[in-house]
């Protein structure tokens, strides 16, 4: 895995040691010893380092959200979720190959076959941490609107297993969240952002 070569400590934080136990193309597991701004004692922690991801809310002109149904091996289930993908780092380990906007639009096209309409926009909505108790993984949220089916259709890669793709109304999304059919952090997270930002209404 290409990690940023020496992630700089934020002000007040000091990484005293980092012992890597396992590393492959997808993740790196290390024990770190850290001093933080608010604890006199140093602490040891097991951290899983991961690339950042982009997470896309594709919204149609009539306000529907485009979701994909995807087999996820770690949970051995197929679930409905927003399209998303990892952001690859350049060979030097410090730069990304493409900007996050470009990756978001590419993942949208590859996973759903939808594209941003002429005159449409891509709106960055900040980022979140998927599980900050054990991993540094960050997901960057983007709203893309309006979207429409492209001429070429989706282009799924070998590692993905996307079974279906469909646009859902806000009422359908609300019911799928309430029933637990939507049950992944990416989709719940970007829905909370869209609601707080005024781009989506979820009515119980």
Contacts with a copy of itself by CB under 8 A lie at 9-10, 13, 15, 21-22, 24, 26-27, 29, 32, 34, 36-39, 43, 45-48, 50, 53, 71-79, 84, 126-138, 159, 161, 163, 173-175, 177-178, 180, 183-185, 188-189, 191-193, 195-199, 202, 204
Shorter beta-carbon distance to a copy of itself: residue 74 or 119: 74
Closest distance between a copy of itself and the C-beta of residue 97, in Å? 19
Closest distance between a copy of itself and the C-beta of residue 151, in Å? 26
Closest distance between a copy of itself and the C-beta of residue 108, in Å? 17
Shorter beta-carbon distance to a copy of itself: residue 148 or 172: 172
Closest distance between a copy of itself and the C-beta of residue 118, in Å? 27
Instruction: List b or e across 177-188, with b for residues whose CB sees 16 or more CB atoms inside 10 angstroms.
Output: beeeebebebbe
Nearest to 67 by CA among 148, 157, 187: 187
DSSP string, 50-64: ---EEEEEEEETTSP
Instruction: List b or e across 94-131, with b for residues whose CB sees 16 or more CB atoms inside 10 angstroms.
Output: eeeeeebeebbbebbbbbbbbbbeeeeebeebebbebe
Shorter beta-carbon distance to a copy of itself: residue 110 or 184: 184
Contact status, residue 30 vs residue 116, Cβ threshold 8 Å: no
Shorter beta-carbon distance to a copy of itself: residue 1 or 155: 1
Q: What is the CA radius of gyration of the chain?
A: 19
């Amino acid at each position: 895995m290409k990690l940023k070569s020496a992630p700089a400590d934020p002000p007040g934080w000091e990484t005293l040691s980092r012992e890597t136990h396992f590393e492959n193309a997808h993740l790196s597991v290390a024990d770190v010893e850290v001093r933080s701004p608010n604890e006199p004692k140093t602490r040891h922690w097991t951290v899983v380092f991961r690339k950042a991801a982009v997470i896309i809310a594709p919204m149609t002109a009539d306000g529907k959200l485009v979701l994909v149904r995807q087999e996820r091996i770690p949970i051995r289930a197929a679930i409905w979720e927003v399209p998303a993908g990892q952001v690859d780092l350049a060979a030097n380990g410090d730069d990304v190959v493409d900007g996050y906007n470009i990756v978001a639009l590419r993942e949208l096209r590859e996973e759903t076959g939808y594209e941003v309409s002429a005159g449409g926009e891509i709106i960055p909505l900040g980022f979140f941490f998927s599980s900050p108790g054990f991993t540094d993984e960050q997901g960057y949220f983007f709203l893309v609107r309006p979207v429409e089916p492209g001429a070429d259709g989706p282009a799924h890669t070998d590692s993905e297993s996307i079974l279906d793709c469909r646009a859902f109304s806000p009422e359908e999304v609300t019911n799928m969240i309430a029933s637990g059919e939507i049950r992944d952090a990416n989709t719940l997270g970007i829905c909370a952002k869209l609601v707080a930002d005024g781009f989506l209404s979820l009515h119980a």
